[in-house]
Amino acid sequence: MWKKIFNLKFWLPILLLGMGAGISMTLLKSKPTARKKPNFQRGKLVEVIEAEFSNPQIEVRSNGRVRPGKKVVLSARIGGEVIWISDKLSEGSVFKKGDPLLSIGIRQSQSRLKAPFDGVVQMKNVDLGQYVNPGTQLATILGSDFAEVVIDLPMSRLDWLPKQFPKELPANSTKKVTGQSTTKNQYQIPAFITLAGISSASAWPAVVKRQLLELTPRGMMVQLIAEVRDPFQLKIPLGQNDKEIAGNGAIEIKKKGTFKGEIREKAENFKIPLFIGSFVDVKIPGRQLADVVRIPAKALRDRDTVWVVVNKELQIRNVKIAHIDLDNVYLSGGVKIGEKIIISPIKGASKGLKVRVFGDKKIDAEKITKGRGKKKDRSKGNWKKHTK
């Protein structure tokens, strides 16, 4: 028994197990502790704008259709044979006031029909040698001095228009002006007309003159009438350079790689006619807003709320809306000047959500670049920040 106890082979496995356990305990005690990296990415990163007052002039946008300002059907006053027709009495041809258009022969004499105003021929109903009776329709002509644009406007937007009346008349005046009385449905509001689907290079200034006192059968829209002067571009004087441009059908004419200043300027102003019956887009400068906060349309949430950053948290704020257009929303209440309004989308946004403002200097200073600004202190077995 004692011989077995003092036998080395008996104690060797026990000694090896003990030494292994001791080494393991020593390694575990000397294990370096890992330092937790500060979480500098806490909170959703958002873009904001700072609320500030402004006094913008709103823009009323709508659409309309062009119709002639003057349209007359020429009829024969007496019966007879058409013995002469002017070249200007052709569909699409232009004529001046007083130009002779056709002659009707009556018993070895003739009656000549003259143009009552400047215009263009829309339709010709008579041919040379034709016998006409009194009242026979000879042609339909359109005035070229101005065209009218019928603009459809929802009733809710009518108060967006500035209340402008002719400067020479008070708002309640009933004085006759060119055969019409000027009342509260008369305006002098500038507008901007562009052909729908055509580049903005083809544009015309217009003036909203009046509103019709009957709503449209469909949609119950108010109709405004605007006037556009020289819609067919007939009164622009044609110089030699203009004739060259019009004759060649070119918008720009090059000479040795550059444009002549005069030709270039006139070429840039070259416009296509404002065709009768065409659909147009309309922009009307509206009334002035006072002390409102403008935000992009995407920053409005659930129709009447915005997200505001307060103490690095998202707060939901009900707002009062003064005006909405295609791009912007104008707030007249609900936010304070200097507050930061969130304009970026946030998935799962809720009140109290932690947020970080994009571009904030404090946040930017907290960013740590991996592999830079650190070195290992071997003597202490831990990490130190390297500062210059």
CB atoms within 10 A of CB 222: 20
pLDDT at site 219: 78
The answer to whether the beta carbons of residues 241 and 266 sit under 8 Å apart is yes
What pLDDT is attached to residue 245? 35
8 Å CB contact between 305 and 321: no
Predicted pLDDT of residue 343: 95
Whether 369 and 386 have beta carbons less than 8 Å apart is answered as: no
Domains and CATH numbers, the chain: 45-56+289-365 (2.40.420.20), 58-233+272-288 (2.40.50.100), 242-270 (no CATH)
pLDDT at 36: 58
* Whole-number pLDDT of residue 3: 57
Beta bridge partners of 292: 54
What residue ranges in 199-291 does DSSP mark as E strands?
203-211, 221-229, 279-288
The pLDDT value recorded for residue 119 is 96
Look at residue 38 in the predicted model and tell me its pLDDT. 54
> What pLDDT is recorded for position 379?
38
End-to-end CA distance of the chain: 73
| DSSP β-ladder status, 355-357 and 44-46 | parallel
Sort 202 into a burial class: Cβ within 10 Å, 0-12 / 13-18 / 19+.
Answer: middle
Calculate the CA 318 to chain-centre distance.
Answer: 27
Per-residue pLDDT, 372: 39
CA–CA distance, 202 with 31 (Å, rounded to integer): 79
**CA 274, CA 233: separation in Å to the nearest integer?**
8
pLDDT at 250: 35
Pure H helices in 280-354: none
pLDDT of residue 167: 45
Tokens found for residue 131: 């016998």
CA pair distance 69, 228, nearest whole angstrom: 9
Under-70 pLDDT residues of the chain: 1-12, 15-16, 20, 22, 27-41, 163-184, 199-201, 236-271, 360-388
- pLDDT tens-digit readout, 74-90: 999 999 999 999 999 99
**What is the C-alpha to C-alpha distance for residues 215 and 220, in angstroms, rounded to an integer?**
5
